[in-house]
Structure 1
Amino acid sequence: MDRQLISRLAHRHHPIAAPLSDESVRLLLDRALPEDGGTVLDLGCGEGAWLLRALSARPELTAVGVDLDAHGLAKAREGAETLGLTRRIGLHHRDAQGYTAREPFSTVLSVGATHAFGGLAGTLAAIRPLLAADGTAVVGDAYWRSEPGPEAVEILGEGYTDLAGTVDRVVADGWTPVFGHTSTERELDAYEWDWTGSLSAWALDNPGHPDRAEALRVAAEHRGEWLRGYRGVFGFVTLVLRRTEG
């Protein structure tokens, strides 16, 4: 079953593809976006949930989204049309890694997409040339809330550290956090229940679909990994960053 299709189905009821509530997203955008005008870029925008909310909150803002998922970009275009935002958003079907722009952006977002850049350091390196000297970056990534067991490391990988270590890495790379949000237990659980539940519900609603059995298997495997492998250990932090030296 195609990975992008799995992700689309799993995020049907949670368009922000990260463990963040609507209120948390609103607060992060409020802290990160310029008050008047400006431009925002989302590297790995998916269905454009962050960008559509940003444009709705700031009437003079313009936005650009980059993603490899053509279906997700089509959904973003539909959402922009529904909200009357089409003229203020540009969507590009291409790899976010290596994306270049003629002018730097006021705000650059990459939340829950660090895997596309090889990790947190690679994400920050990709953002740096795209961000205005006085601009703001919003980066969301995983961290260990407590010492992980071997199963959690096997599932999620070895590239993470604890919250303090994650912030230290960002600071050492030349960034200063000016705001942040650590996802709550409720947000983390809601995300996992939505992910596994939405995929399972789709399979049950489509008994004749050739991908039904695979969708149920993937959902059950993911649910088991979460409940027995990394629940209570996995955390997620979203940082609002500015360059320490312009």
Structure 2
Amino acid sequence: MENDELVSITQGTLAIMNPTSAEKVLAAGQAAGLREGSRVVEVGCGNGTILALWGREYGISGLGIETREDACTRAEETLRAAGLGDRLSVRCMDARSYVPDEPFDCAIAIGASHIRGGFAATLDALLDLVHDEGTIVIGDRCWRSDRTPPEFAREWPDVLTEYEILGAVREAGLDVAAVVRSGADDWDRYESGIWQSVISWLGSHPDHPGRDFMIDYLHRLQDEYFGYGREHMGWALYVLVPGFY
């Protein structure tokens, strides 16, 4: 099964496709200094929920970039339903090919660092989208400590500790203005939402050729989560500003 199809099945119905909440997303937007007229670009905008939240609360404008066509359609519907279609739009394309006509005030990637191949590369790409005083909001996984058992850490070679994330931020010439961490309830809600989506899909597709794969995928996700993810894996929104150097 192709990855885009897998993501659509497992997370397509989630309002926020990451282990965080609307309240925490709004807190990150406030820390980033978003206000009426701020221009924002979101790389990997999913179903548009985060842009819609910031559009309603802070009056931002801008666009989301998403490669999955079904997610683009949902994002457009989300923005229209929020009455934001005149200020926020969606481009259905590979974010790696996007070049802005003018720089943005804020660039964000929430759970989308895989698009660029990791945290540091994502920071560099987001910096190319903002002006010199622009802010960055990036949401990503992290190890809770540097004492994660190696047999688990090897399963996620691109995940950094928060101290390594801090180093990557400073290397990019930025400083951390705020961190909004996810808690156990955020993780439980997110993971459970994925399991329920898979179970619903299995119930609706009794004869699908990918059924065995999806059963194995469900059980693997649960093995990872109960085996080590809930104890060792963290997730946070990092609000980044130009560094003081």
Q: TM-score scaled to structure 2, two decimals?
A: 0.91
- Answer whether contact 1:98 1:126 (CA < 8 A) is retained: no
Who is 1:198 aligned against? 197
- CA shift, 1:64, in A, is 0.8
- CA shift, 1:216, in A, is 2.4
Who is 2:56 aligned against? 56
Q: Distance in 1 between matches of 2:9 and 2:144?
A: 28
DSSP-derived class of the 1:92 partner: strand
- CA shift, 1:83, in A, is 2.1
Who is 1:41 aligned against? 41
Q: Distance in 1 between matches of 2:87 and 2:31?
A: 21
- CA shift, 1:138, in A, is 0.2
- CA shift, 1:33, in A, is 4.6
- CA shift, 1:228, in A, is 1.7
Q: Distance in 2 between matches of 1:168 and 1:125?
A: 14
Identity %: 26
Who is 1:26 aligned against? 26
Q: For structure 2, which runs of at least 5 residues remain unmatched after alignment?
A: none
Amino acid at match of 1:237: A
- CA shift, 1:2, in A, is 2.7
DSSP-derived class of the 2:65 partner: strand
- CA shift, 1:183, in A, is 1.4
- CA shift, 1:219, in A, is 1.3
Answer with 190-199 or 71-80: which moved more.
190-199
The verdict on how the C-alpha distance between 1:160 and 1:208 changes in structure 2, with shifts beyond 3 A counting, is closer
- CA shift, 1:66, in A, is 1.0
Q: Distance in 2 between matches of 1:33 and 1:218?
A: 40
Query: Where does 1:205-216 land on structure 2 (aligned, <5 Å)?
Result: 205-216=204-215
Who is 1:17 aligned against? 17
Q: For structure 1, which runs of at least 5 residues remain unmatched after alignment?
A: none
Amino acid at match of 2:196: G
Amino acid at match of 2:9: L
Who is 1:83 aligned against? 82
1:128 and 2:134 equivalent?
A: no
Answer with 124-133 or 91-100: which moved more.
91-100
DSSP-derived class of the 1:152 partner: helix
Who is 2:142 aligned against? 143
Q: TM-score scaled to structure 1, two decimals?
A: 0.90
DSSP-derived class of the 1:84 partner: coil
1:2 and 2:9 equivalent?
A: no
Answer with 224-233 or 35-44: which moved more.
224-233
Q: Distance in 1 between matches of 2:38 and 2:160?
A: 34
- Answer whether contact 1:41 1:64 (CA < 8 A) is retained: yes
- Answer whether contact 2:27 2:180 (CA < 8 A) is retained: no
Q: Distance in 1 between matches of 2:150 and 2:29?
A: 36
What is the aligned residue count?
A: 244
- CA shift, 1:213, in A, is 3.5
- Answer whether contact 2:175 2:244 (CA < 8 A) is retained: no
Q: Distance in 2 between matches of 1:126 and 1:245?
A: 20
Answer with 231-240 or 80-89: which moved more.
80-89
Query: Where does 1:91-102 land on structure 2 (aligned, <5 Å)?
Result: 91-102=90-101
Who is 1:234 aligned against? 233
- CA shift, 1:94, in A, is 1.5
1:119 and 2:118 equivalent?
A: yes
